[in-house]
Structure 1
Amino acid sequence: METPWDVELELRQHIQTCACTCNHMGYGNYMDYQMCCPGPGHSAGSVVCQGGARDLPDVAERCNGGHFLPPDSASSSYSSAGDPAKAPAGSRGPRCLCVVVCVIAAALAAGLGLPLALGGAGRRDTPQARLDVVRRLLREAPLVDGHNDLAWNVRKFMHNRIAGLNLSADLARIEPWARSQWSHTDIPRLRAGLVGAQFWSAYVPCGAQHMDAVQLTLEQIDVIKRLIELHPQHLGLVTGSRELLEVHRSGRIASLIGVEGGHSLGNSLAVLRSLYGLGARYLTVTHACDTPWAGAAGGDRGLSAFGRTVIREMNRLGMLVDLSHTAATTARDALNTTHAPVVFSHSGAMAVCNSSRNVPDDILRMVAENGGVVMVNFFSQLVTCNDSATMKDVIGHINHIRKVAGVDHVGIGAGYDGINVTPAGLEDVSRYPHLLAELLADPSWSERDVMKLAGLNVVRVLGRVEEVRDKWRLAAVLPAEEVPPPANTPDGTPSCTYMLS
């Protein structure tokens, strides 16, 4: 069944290529997707436009004689839009497209995607009724968790030899997983938790910085991909927002890769690009250690000039900037640098638990202005600042972020398999529906609000990051080539590098 997200994507694509000047039900017309720069002999206020986007970054101003130079003739579909005879093969005529848009609008008005608009119409008077509502909602919209460290446990327990690992089994009954406080994940529990999409963390410890961090990161990405390939009936590797929704509709768990820690780059933009090419869709700017270009939580260092280049290159690639684990100064610097929304993949609210790993209110407000999402962590030490926490304590973080930043800017990033103390009621990945059902007991939480928290906010952010990427491609923004100053190890000695060239 077609969903409202499909309709929105199709409508946007239609508007970008439609030659008619109609307002498309208030969504504008193709001129709203034009890219402008000064023409020859014109001032900045007098422009020549061709296909693309208007809100381009300053780094994207690549004009020659008044025209942008998009790669691979990306704007050719726009230049022929006014003449149906010159339209690209496979394109539909503007009059037919406008009819299609009207049909879509009528379908929406008739009730397509009705669950999104219910806003609390289902029964919510008993715990079981609320769980039934959650199951229905999570069939329509994916539950997206921002951070799971299963891959690192596979390295610790199995040395990445996964031939003997049956992720479809109940690992809570199988050694060494059964006795580990750090183990919370397997496919049966993911299914019970109605997980629709999961960011799997490619994590390596800070001790590998200036040593073999890049190699270890590649090995962790490899093991994540192999785990997904071993379970194609349950898991599907995805690298974009549209794929995420498609895999969720197929009944599988959309699996994305996040790299946890800027030390995994080895201070190289080429490595960043390579990680993106391998499927990584976020980089956590720091882990528990500073890098030569960014400060971690607990310190007051921010981004260096090279660090700001890293953020802009992530914008260009279409990679989520993840600010969990960063110093507040780093987070502010990143938010003032990025042209795309950011995420905190597994953090909490500092006002609720005064940990340097959590997000202060001023940064929550910056995230709201940026359009990003703070995904709430379930580690008890970040929830209550001690080892004793409950589901209601987690809800306290969710509600505080909602109050300060808004319901469009809060999500879930439990951190399972990377934490050893979990809140009562949220012991493993099977418990997400119970959290959402508890929220539905609060009349201030509508069904649509719960769907936003569960995953729609993250899907929106990922889509927006992809839009920025696509606009920069049209603007022919070139890869950054800056090289950072030579890095030193913590004791001040030069790092192990062959040469700097």
Structure 2
Amino acid sequence: MRRFLLASAVAAIACGSPAFAQDKAERIAAAALEAAPVWDGHNDVPIQLRSRVGNVINDFDFRDTLSTASADHSAMHSDLIRLKQGKVGAQWWSVYVSANLSEPEAVQATIEQIDVTKRLIARYPDDMQLALSADEVEEARAAGRIASLIGMEGGHSIGSSLAVLRQMYDLGARYMTLTHGKTLSWVDSATDAPRHDGLNAFGKDVVREMNRIGMLVDLSHVSEASMMDALDVAQAPVIFSHSGARAVAGHLRNVPDSVLARMPANGGIVMVVALPWFIKEDLRTHSANRAGEEARLKALYPGLPSTVEAQLAKWDAENGEPVATISDMADHIDHIRDVAGIDHIGIGGDYDGMPSGPVGMEDVTGYPALFAELAGRGYSQDDLEKISSRNMMRVLREAEAFAASVSDLPPIEYPAGEPRDDSE
């Protein structure tokens, strides 16, 4: 009996040990990602192809991009080997082009980015498959391929034209971020001076037309007023393809609680970003303080750039930069769950669109570690499957269903060539 009690005590201690808890969390996470691989909301490989190789990819090796480091670029975050290690089963590829381009230039460049994305997918038919619908995502995943969808990052890419929007859909784009870093003639950006207090009349018609054709409305990068206006108009679920919770880190790119509270009624999701400056408040504050110190030094020592550089280096040595971790990203997921609910969370890493992910998630291989962290916090396998991809699948299916229900509605029309100015 004493031996039995001793053995039971030892087993109880082992089960309560940190190592046992970590092993259990990893097993729950692995089971979840096996059943529902990650459907990531935002990856910037296409703009990397443009900036690194000018979209000349016939000899570009996307199986392994670790050798892409150069004097001008660090190594890419994504390739086929690492996407599989990261348990990514579906990927929204961003066809971002600079918001500094004129609208005609942006339209052309976006078409070029759609082209290079499709060509990249076609080069690896055993590993990737273009997906234009929820059913095609399921078909690709059933075949063991990464379902590859196209998302447009910024309304400048439609040149203020609903006709161009519809043609981008026909080319394969299935979401559009309403704007990027600049306020447009019809929508306010989160990181630029507002002009419309949200969306103007044309901007609201953009949302209506996206709903009508089945293109997802992405509210990452837009102002809070624009988020609210879009939610007032939207009749299908919206997404935030790569954003955090503003209550956790105050960057204006993140989603405020006022908007999170509206997610259940809309049915949309916030796909949580990995970008360190968006997920760790201390890091955001440090960056602001450094910018302030640099401005102070330039005001104190005009015409003495070497003095400014030396003094700023001294400040850097005395004020170490905080480090973002997987735990910081998980804190955003916790908060969104608490405010909006488990059905309104996804993952949108922003890999290849930032210098690095947080420690432990520097590239796309880090997703299993994130899901183990969540399992360790008490998320069930069902919860993790919703976050990894099931919520995104539901959103896309609901958007498709709404579009099918209004298929008899005619397109929204505007006279050709008429400017969509701020007065609308």
Q: Do both proteins adopt the same fold according to a TM-score greater than 0.5, normalized to the shorter chain?
A: yes
Aligned to 2:419: 486
**AA partner of residue 477 (structure 1):** L
Alignment partner for residue 146 of structure 2, among 248, 253, 256?
253
Task: Tell me, in whole angstroms, the C-alpha distance in 2 between the residues paired with 1:234 and 1:152.
Answer: 21
Aligned to 1:400: 335
Secondary structure at 2:255 match in 1 = coil
Secondary structure at 2:31 match in 1 = helix
Task: Tell me, in whole angstroms, the C-alpha distance in 2 between the residues paired with 1:179 and 1:195.
Answer: 28
Q: Do residues 287 (structure 1) and 180 (structure 2) align?
A: yes
Kindly, what percent of the aligned residue pairs are identical?
Answer: 44
Q: Do residues 205 (structure 1) and 140 (structure 2) align?
A: no
| Partners of 1:209 and 1:264 within 8 A in 2 | no
Task: Tell me, in whole angstroms, the C-alpha distance in 2 between the residues paired with 1:131 and 1:217.
Answer: 40
Unaligned 5+ runs, structure 1: 1-123, 490-501
| Partners of 2:96 and 2:113 within 8 A in 1 | yes
Task: Tell me, in whole angstroms, the C-alpha distance in 1 between the residues paired with 2:115 and 2:23.
Answer: 41
1:231–1:309 distance in 2 versus 1, CA, 3 Å: same
- Counterparts of residues 417-436 of structure 1 (less than 5 Å): 417-436=352-371
Alignment partner for residue 141 of structure 1, among 23, 33, 36?
36
Task: Tell me, in whole angstroms, the C-alpha distance in 2 between the residues paired with 1:465 and 1:152.
Answer: 27
1:148–1:182 distance in 2 versus 1, CA, 3 Å: farther
- Counterparts of residues 1-40 of structure 1 (less than 5 Å): none
Q: Do residues 309 (structure 1) and 205 (structure 2) align?
A: yes
How far residue 244 of structure 1 moved from its aligned partner, in angstroms, is 0.8
1:158–1:291 distance in 2 versus 1, CA, 3 Å: same
1:485–1:362 distance in 2 versus 1, CA, 3 Å: farther
| Partners of 2:186 and 2:199 within 8 A in 1 | yes
Aligned length: 361
Task: Tell me, in whole angstroms, the C-alpha distance in 1 between the residues paired with 2:86 and 2:72.
Answer: 21
Task: Tell me, in whole angstroms, the C-alpha distance in 1 between the residues paired with 2:341 and 2:382.
Answer: 13
**AA partner of residue 447 (structure 1):** Q
Q: Which is helix-richer, 1 or 2?
A: 2
Unaligned 5+ runs, structure 2: 1-18, 284-321
Secondary structure at 2:42 match in 1 = strand
Q: C-alpha offsets along residues 297-343 of structure 1, whole Å, 9 cap, x if unaligned? A: 03443111011111000011001000000011111000000100000
Alignment partner for residue 382 of structure 2, among 439, 448, 452?
448
| Partners of 1:138 and 1:196 within 8 A in 2 | no
Secondary structure at 1:398 match in 2 = helix
How far residue 367 of structure 1 moved from its aligned partner, in angstroms, is 1.8
Task: Tell me, in whole angstroms, the C-alpha distance in 1 between the residues paired with 2:26 and 2:418.
Answer: 54
Task: Tell me, in whole angstroms, the C-alpha distance in 2 between the residues paired with 1:249 and 1:210.
Answer: 39
1:472–1:406 distance in 2 versus 1, CA, 3 Å: same
Aligned to 2:405: 471
**AA partner of residue 331 (structure 1):** M
Higher relative contact order (CA 8 A, sep 6+): 2
Task: Tell me, in whole angstroms, the C-alpha distance in 1 between the residues paired with 2:119 and 2:126.
Answer: 14
Q: C-alpha offsets along residues 184-225 of structure 1, whole Å, 9 cap, x if unaligned? A: 111110010010100000000011133400000000000000
**AA partner of residue 404 (structure 1):** V
How far residue 249 of structure 1 moved from its aligned partner, in angstroms, is 1.5
Q: C-alpha offsets along residues 131-161 of structure 1, whole Å, 9 cap, x if unaligned? A: 3433332232231000000000100000000
Task: Tell me, in whole angstroms, the C-alpha distance in 2 between the residues paired with 1:125 and 1:242.
Answer: 39
- Counterparts of residues 51-66 of structure 1 (less than 5 Å): none
How far residue 290 of structure 1 moved from its aligned partner, in angstroms, is 1.0
Task: Tell me, in whole angstroms, the C-alpha distance in 1 between the residues paired with 2:42 and 2:81.
Answer: 18
1:465–1:186 distance in 2 versus 1, CA, 3 Å: same
Q: C-alpha offsets along residues 7-42 of structure 1, whole Å, 9 cap, x if unaligned? A: xxxxxxxxxxxxxxxxxxxxxxxxxxxxxxxxxxxx
Task: Tell me, in whole angstroms, the C-alpha distance in 2 between the residues paired with 1:408 and 1:487.
Answer: 36
Aligned to 1:195: 88
Aligned to 2:345: 410
**AA partner of residue 81 (structure 2):** P
Q: C-alpha offsets along residues 234-254 of structure 1, whole Å, 9 cap, x if unaligned? A: 101001111111211211100
Aligned to 1:345: 241
How far residue 126 of structure 1 moved from its aligned partner, in angstroms, is 4.3
